[in-house]
Amino acid sequence: MSLLSVENLTASYGVSQALFGVDLSIEEGQVVALMGRNGMGKSTTVKSICRMIASQGVLNFGGTDLHAQPSHRVARLGIGLVPEGRRCFRDLTVYENLIASARPGEWTEDTIGDLFPRLTERRQQRARSLSGGEQQMLAIGRALMTNPKLLILDEATEGLAPIIRQEIWAAIKRIKRDSGVAILLVDKSLKELSKVSDRAVILERGKTAWSGNITDLTKEISEKFVGV
């Protein structure tokens, strides 16, 4: 059985329907890239999985129907989200951001410090005083501190300097290599996604247009649906 199973997922913002039937599944320890042009429903799919917006269809995580769960319970079941725009707790220090949501498991302040040494250097600094890249590292660290079974990264490298993006991608590869956590990656960098992902799901107008192994993703398909 898949760790996460999404079938025929539909969602709306008021009267405006955003998802028309998204299908995707993630196995344990697998990295799946969720791709598509802007406005195709990637972030809405993520919000639906995390129960931040109402949706219909099958939404099953480890045998639990997510539709029956409030947002905080979804996280407690083992879905860690790194939201678009980072959204760290600005008035808390790096250390406080990490321990505020910590749950027992392999990810601790020390292992996060190994992954992002910059966070250890800025341990007592308030999140609001960090650079964008450091805030992104903190957002990833905060999500990992919940010791999730599935980590969702929504546009984790968006708007960051190239050198910081490299650091983030290196960290994602290390998370994949060193831990059994499954990852759902929403990003626009096909080059990096193809290096780290096992599978890809492409959304087009709120529906799954293509899914398969990342190695099967041809240039024609990516040009047609992703534009690169």
Partner 1 sequence: MIQERYLNALVLFGLIAVPLYAMATEELFTITLATRAVILALAAVGLNLALGLGGLVSFGHATFFGIGGYTMGVLAYHAQTYTALDLGLFTIEGTKSMPIIWLVAIILSSLVAVVIGMLSLRTSGVYFIMITLAFGQMFFFFTISWAAYGGEDGLSIYVRNGFPGLNTLVPIQFYGICFVILCAVLFLNARLAKSPFGLALNAARQTPMRTQTVGLDPTRLKLVAFVISGAITGLAGALFADLNRFVSPTMFSWQFSGEIMLFIILGGVGRLFGPVIGAVIFVTLEHFLGEITDFWHIYLGVILVIIVLFARGGIVGLLSGRGGGHD
Count of residues that interact with partner 1, criterion CB under 8 A:
27
Q: Is 10 in the site for partner 1 (CB under 8 A)?
A: no
Residues 6+ apart with CB under 8 A from 39: none
In whole angstroms, the minimum distance from the beta carbon of 48 to partner 1 comes to 13
Member of 11, 22, 24, 80 binding partner 1 (CB under 8 A): 80
Member of 12, 25, 71, 120 binding partner 1 (CB under 8 A): 71
How far is the C-alpha of 194 from the C-alpha of 192, rounded, in Å? Answer: 5
Interacting stretch for partner 1, rule CB under 8 A, among 80-88, 110-118, 174-182, 203-211?
A: 80-88
Q: Is 223 in the site for partner 1 (CB under 8 A)?
A: no
- CA dihedral sign of residues 186, 192, 194, 195: negative
In whole angstroms, the minimum distance from the beta carbon of 79 to partner 1 comes to 8
Interacting stretch for partner 1, rule CB under 8 A, among 18-26, 68-76, 189-197, 205-213?
A: 68-76
DSSP H helices, 32-126, are 42-49, 71-77, 94-100, 109-115, 117-121
Member of 5, 136, 146, 208 binding partner 1 (CB under 8 A): 146
Best CA proximity match to 173, nearest among 31, 35, 28: 31
3-state class of 190 per DSSP?
A: helix
3-state class of 7 per DSSP?
A: strand
Q: Tell me which H or E stretch contains 219.
A: helix 219-225
Q: Is 209 in the site for partner 1 (CB under 8 A)?
A: no
Positions 89 through 108 that interact with partner 1 (CB under 8 A): 89-92, 96-97, 99-103
Member of 52, 105, 109, 188 binding partner 1 (CB under 8 A): 52
3-state class of 54 per DSSP?
A: coil
Using the minimum distance from each CB to partner 1, give the nearer residue, 134 or 192: 134
* Contact between 8 and 21 (Cβ < 8 Å): yes
Question: Residue 63: CA atoms inside 13 Å, Cβ hemisphere, count?
Answer: 1
Q: Which two tokens stand for residue 118?
A: 């910059």
Q: Is 66 in the site for partner 1 (CB under 8 A)?
A: no
Adjacent-strand bridge partners of 154: 186
Interacting stretch for partner 1, rule CB under 8 A, among 19-27, 139-147, 164-172, 183-191?
A: 139-147
Using the minimum distance from each CB to partner 1, give the nearer residue, 77 or 221: 77
Residue ranges that bind partner 1, judged by CB under 8 A: 50, 52, 70-73, 75-76, 80-81, 83, 87, 89-92, 96-97, 99-103, 142-143, 145-146
